[in-house]
Amino acid sequence: MTRKFVLIGFMGAGKSTAARALGPGGADVDHVIEERAGESVRDIFARAGEAHFRALEEQTTLELLADPSVRAVALGGGALGSPAIRAAIAAHTVVWIDIDVDSAWHRVTHSHHPHRRPLASDPERFRALYAERHDGYWELADVIVPANRAREIAQVLTCLDGLPDRPGLRTLWAASASGDYPVHIGPGLLCEAGFWPAAVTGRRVIVSDYNAFRHHGAHLSPAFADVRIMPGEQSKTIAHAEIVWTEMARHGVTRSDVVAALGGGVVGDLAGFCAATYQRGVPVVQVPTTLVAQVDSAYGGKTGVDLPEAKNYVGAYHQPAAVIVDPLTLTTLPEAEVAAGYAEVVKTALIAGGGLWERVAAGAEPTDPAVIAGCALTKLRIVASDERDGGPRQLLNLGHTVGHALETVTGYARYRHGEAVGLGLLAALRLSGQDALREQVADLLAARGLPTHAGPGLELEPIIFATAKDKKRTGEGPVPFVLLRTPGEAIYGQHVTPAALRAAVKELIA
Ligand SMILES: NC(=O)c1ccc[n+]([C@@H]2O[C@H](COP(=O)([O-])OP(=O)(O)OC[C@H]3O[C@@H](n4cnc5c(N)ncnc54)[C@H](O)[C@@H]3O)[C@@H](O)[C@H]2O)c1
């Protein structure tokens, strides 16, 4: 049987639009049921009840999945409640059209087809249903496409060309104002399959550090050139960017070539910045090999270098052409680096809430591909709504204002970025008045060997001074903080009193 695309997602996500956009052979289950019955879904619900409709839905779905003339099937919103349908779609490529609950509500309440949505009359029930179904979509999805790309789904799915058929592989489509790209996440994708996206042509220029290259450089062959820097944050400087630019020029790299950034966040930020600026911009493929990079820094297109005065002060937005994430590259990563990445996992899970936070709070392994993909999806959703940090993207800075200040006052040498973020998270939770959650997070961090105190030898005033250098601050105003109401509900642009900030930092260095 040839693989079909099975389109899943909540009401209003645009599954029917996507099925239509996939051309001849696109079938929408609700539409087929209505045509055959000669009445609307809402009327079938009203006349014969939900159980009758679900039986009809199951029968029609199974029939369409077995029909060789059908290429793509858009399932009804509740179809995944049927074990028979869940079993049948396992042999196909499941594409989740992902929509946030507010957009879904807006769409269904302004829909041309209100008769199709018998479950969309009560906003509270709608939200509850969304929360109930969300993790089910997540579990089943091979490909996740944002709802605002449903019309372009045919182009989006070409990113699957040449992708090996491997268990556990997921592709997330990253949408942003300045460019879209696929994120392929799969154990062994790089180390075993040597995957490189077919759509990214051009000679590969590997930019890496000595550790990442030694362990994984061979998986990216054939390379046209490679440039290696010394490992560590101390390499994220303009001087190192100049080394990379110079090496690229010496090798005769042109704009039709592509930079492969192989390594952690330092390499990703530096190589991305060099790609953004070399000859005014060459493409970059991010190939993250640390946990920090796989859950966070490889996505979203922020690139740059540090100044001695402050971190990440010079840079550019440069979205990657693709991201290749192989969790197996983490098997060579030192334990302390995995721990540093864990702080970013906890941060992301606190922002996401829901199933991701539940898994992380229950002690999930941070290198679990599902945890990595969950963090990636969380970041991509936020960046899609705000590429340039004007609003919601600031949420990703939970814990970072104090975290960056700790890195700055210690000359970037004492803490790994993730370690500083873990400490910053504790300060942010105290400032949020989340005392019990702070204890829970401190326990999670401590269980992975992360510091929960910043002492000894640190002084309060330089840290407070360094927080004022935060890039989110505008003009002479106070530094805005990201605070947390509850997991899943972070808020940005919050002002805290100087006394509260002092107390939260003092507690860390006591
Ligand atoms: N651009 C963004 O959106 C963003 C987001 C978060 C963090 N960051 C940046 O990321 C940086 C931190 O990244 P990081 O924590 O990955 O640090 P890193 O890049 O310094 O890597 C940590 C260490 O792991 C080594 N290493 C990398 N891959 C390895 C592997 N597979 N096996 C063995 N060793 C390996 C490196 O050589 C290095 O010694 C910071 O500069 C931070 O500002 C950027």
The CATH number assigned to the domain holding 465 equals 1.20.1090.10
pLDDT at 71: 92
Residues 226 and 257 in one domain: yes
**Residues 266 and 290: beta-carbon distance below 8 Å:** no
- CA–centroid distance, residue 338 to ligand 1 (Å): 10
Verify whether ligand 1 is closer than 6 Å to residue 232 (CB atom): yes
Residues 101 and 242 in one domain: no
Q: Which residue range(s) make up the domain with 234?
A: 183-333
Residues 155 and 11 in one domain: yes
pLDDT tens, position by position, 107-127: 988 876 655 666 677 889 999
Residues 128 and 187 in one domain: no
Atom 7 (ligand 1): residue with closest C-alpha?
A: 297
Indicate the average pLDDT of the chain: 94
Verify whether ligand 1 is closer than 6 Å to residue 300 (CB atom): yes
Note whether residue 248 is domain-resident: yes
Note whether residue 28 is domain-resident: yes
Residues 15 and 146 in one domain: yes
* Nearest atom (ligand 1) to Cα of 215: 32
Q: Which of 289, 311, 333 is the last residue of a domain?
A: 333
Note whether residue 368 is domain-resident: no
Query: Which residue of 337, 372, 407 sits with most ligand 1 atoms within 8 Å of its CB, as the best mutation to test the pocket?
Result: 337
Note whether residue 450 is domain-resident: yes
What is the CATH classification number for the domain harbouring 136?
A: 3.40.50.300
Residues 30 and 116 in one domain: yes
What's the domain count of the chain? 3
Residues 187 and 322 in one domain: yes
Note whether residue 172 is domain-resident: no
Atom 22 (ligand 1): residue with closest C-alpha?
A: 264
| Exposed/middle/buried for residue 377 (C-beta within 10 Å: 0-12, 13-18, 19+) | buried
Residues 113 and 234 in one domain: no
Q: Which of 107, 129, 160 is the last residue of a domain?
A: 160
pLDDT at 373: 98
Note whether residue 338 is domain-resident: no
| Exposed/middle/buried for residue 426 (C-beta within 10 Å: 0-12, 13-18, 19+) | buried
pLDDT at 1: 66
- CA–centroid distance, residue 209 to ligand 1 (Å): 10
Residues 425 and 497 in one domain: yes
CA dist 135 and 143 (Å) reads: 14
Tell me, what amino acid is at 154? A
pLDDT at 311: 81
Q: Which of 267, 298, 333 is the last residue of a domain?
A: 333
Note whether residue 347 is domain-resident: no
Residues 313 and 448 in one domain: no
Give the residue ranges of the chain where pLDDT is below 50: none
- How long is the chain? 510
Count other Cβ atoms within 10 Å, centred on residue 505: 25
Mark out the alpha helices in 332-416 (DSSP H runs): 335-352, 354-361, 369-385, 400-409
CA dist 343 and 345 (Å) reads: 5
Residues 329 and 211 in one domain: yes
| Exposed/middle/buried for residue 443 (C-beta within 10 Å: 0-12, 13-18, 19+) | exposed
Verify whether ligand 1 is closer than 6 Å to residue 293 (CB atom): yes
For residue 415, give both structure tokens: 């803490």
**Residues 438 and 504: beta-carbon distance below 8 Å:** no
For residue 99, give both structure tokens: 């929509």
Residues 27 and 149 in one domain: yes
CA dist 100 and 354 (Å) reads: 13
pLDDT at 183: 98
Note whether residue 447 is domain-resident: yes
Residue 174: left (phi > 0), alpha (psi -120 to 50), or beta?
beta
What is the CATH classification number for the domain harbouring 193?
A: 3.40.50.1970
CA dist 91 and 1 (Å) reads: 9
pLDDT at 390: 83
